Structure 1
């Protein structure tokens, strides 16, 4: 039996889209699924009715099986110049291609194969949020196979695996971090990074400047390593940060960011021997940081935590959430609000105490 359902989806920019999902059930199981997204509810409803009528009249489309293994499909994505892949997505796809799941034909992938893959990943030490990336990008790969390359493929096995994956805690959302390096840890890192610079002088990576600049500018290391001298605004003591991370857009998210608290001076003392201010591979920077961190025995500190440290320092100096967002680039200030409330959990009690004191003084 064919049926459809229209669901409103509110996007990050506040606009509403209407997703119409058409499915066919046989003996209690979903054997066919398709969907489209529309700007108006009426258009979504009309497409759903039309698609159901077509399925009732003509039956299921003849989907011939494909003997293409998953790794071959993934390699097509990786080598396709028109497919834009971020670092994380590329890494996950490469890992999927090298896994046991990658050797299975895309037409033969079943929910239990996916559950087995996730169990193996969890047993290897990956957390639920990390495994969620596997499933998200696997679903994308299977979903885009037909329109991209004509492979007969379906995301249905991924959809059907979700109940088991959630029930067994194999996938889940990432936990919000609140880790900040202590002043002692930062000083130890500087000493360790200075030693690494002396030992690897040929690399030329100014680890200490990068560490301090990352904290003071609140930038991600990838953003730091993309800054060009052409993007530096001497008059405003600011830089253009290109392609800042934004869940709503993949590219073109350029922002003017003021350099505060000494970050401007760090930038100015860099050598102008390249078009980039920090012409270094971000992976090399983070790898060096991690090596020093591990050698020092500093537990559970990631390079990305320096961004939170920078935002926390700005709050402690009295900057407002809107002002901090101008530096960090957060589109959703709820993230910064969580940082702020964790720093000052007593602020409402202090405000109430001050108000009572004023009322008491006025009555006197």
Structure 2
């Protein structure tokens, strides 16, 4: 039975104690509202339809993001974890004060539209649809986790009921003219020969930047001319065949004195510990800044390191490898991911048709 009492602050508290159900309490401004809620809740309990929603009504999105980043994000790869912490910031700013139960599809849709109309301070351009999709993906998975595992009494995932922005078209930037020569020359001018080796390996193999920089010596088999990757972006291990040029690059890298016995093929500078002492642990080589300087020296604009992967895969297609062979080398999981490279085949067929 429900008990309704008036509090010292003048509000009305409804308390329901029923065998087989947890004690349920809710406070209302009007007695009539308390009575209506108690009547409806008891009816749902009798029919076995009652869902405890109080936790979802009390937990804000800000607190939910804290729990998600603390419990769920650490189970993912470090790159994904860093990206999710970044994408959580605009969600906190716009929706952090909302209770989870109060966020409806129309609120999420309004957030989507405002984000798509936001100018990025880094680029000075509108945020890409891909960025907004990643933010919505984080919010959607948070709700899925809260519904399945946290027991907050949420009944719907609001992100599942809105239209997602269409993904941006994939980049198709390739090296043109003498850009490759200028780029490699600028990299070779750098004091650390690892920069040129990393860039050449990306062009020869199509490996991602993270795959190259995390490469260890025991993953490289120069005799069989393969590199075995256990940790990749899509989570699937793969073996990358090496051309003779790639073998030469790796052989020079493995014998480079700058490695100083590090298991990494491309280690970074030794870390400094307390009192300026050198820490023997060395992380991967960090190339973001030196890559930008190399592009500036070479006079090349609009080129990202990941575009080297596009260049490498495009060259594999131009050499006549099948889609399955290219996917086995590059690690693309679906043929759709290779669609933007297939137009090269059509151009090559023109001469054969004539």
Say whether the fold is shared (TM-score over 0.5): yes
Structure 1 residue 136 displacement after superposition: 1.3
- In the TM superposition, what are the counterparts of 1:147-158 in structure 2 within 5 Å? 147-153=148-154, 155-158=156-159
Structure 1 residue 209 displacement after superposition: 1.1
Which residue of structure 2 lines up, in the alignment, with residue 213 of structure 1? 201
Task: Please tell me whether residue 74 in structure 1 is matched to residue 65 in structure 2.
Answer: yes
Q: Which moved more, 1:181-190 or 1:232-241?
A: 181-190
Structure 1: gaps of 5 or more residues:
1-53, 199-203, 354-364
Mark the CA change 1:219 to 1:191 in structure 2 (over 3 Å): closer, same or farther: same
Mark the CA change 1:108 to 1:237 in structure 2 (over 3 Å): closer, same or farther: same
Is the partner of 1:345 in helix, strand or coil?
helix
Mark the CA change 1:106 to 1:295 in structure 2 (over 3 Å): closer, same or farther: farther
Structure 2: gaps of 5 or more residues:
1-43, 120-125, 269-282
Mark the CA change 1:206 to 1:74 in structure 2 (over 3 Å): closer, same or farther: same
Question: What is the distance in 1 between the residues matched to 2:305 and 2:322?
Answer: 25
Mark the CA change 1:298 to 1:106 in structure 2 (over 3 Å): closer, same or farther: farther
- In the TM superposition, what are the counterparts of 1:18-29 in structure 2 within 5 Å? none
Which residue of structure 2 lines up, in the alignment, with residue 304 of structure 1? 306
Aligned length: 281
Question: What is the distance in 2 between the residues matched to 1:210 and 1:240?
Answer: 17
Aligned 8 A contact 2:313 2:326 in 1? yes
Which residue of structure 2 lines up, in the alignment, with residue 344 of structure 1? 345
Structure 1 residue 303 displacement after superposition: 1.5
- In the TM superposition, what are the counterparts of 1:1-364 in structure 2 within 5 Å? 57-64=47-54, 65-80=56-71, 83-86=74-77, 87-88=79-80, 90-97=82-89, 98-122=92-116, 123-124=118-119, 125-153=126-154, 155-160=156-161, 162-163=162-163, 171-194=165-188, 197-198=190-191, 206-246=194-234, 251=235, 253-270=236-253, 271=256, 272=259, 273-280=261-268, 284-290=286-292, 292-293=294-295, 298-336=300-338, 338-339=340-341, 341-353=342-354
RMSD of aligned Cα (Å): 3.2
Mark the CA change 1:239 to 1:68 in structure 2 (over 3 Å): closer, same or farther: same
Structure 1 residue 138 displacement after superposition: 0.5
Is the partner of 2:239 in helix, strand or coil?
strand
Is the partner of 2:227 in helix, strand or coil?
strand
Question: What is the distance in 1 between the residues matched to 2:193 and 2:151?
Answer: 46
Larger Rg: 2
Q: Which moved more, 1:330-339 or 1:132-141?
A: 330-339
Is the partner of 1:239 in helix, strand or coil?
strand
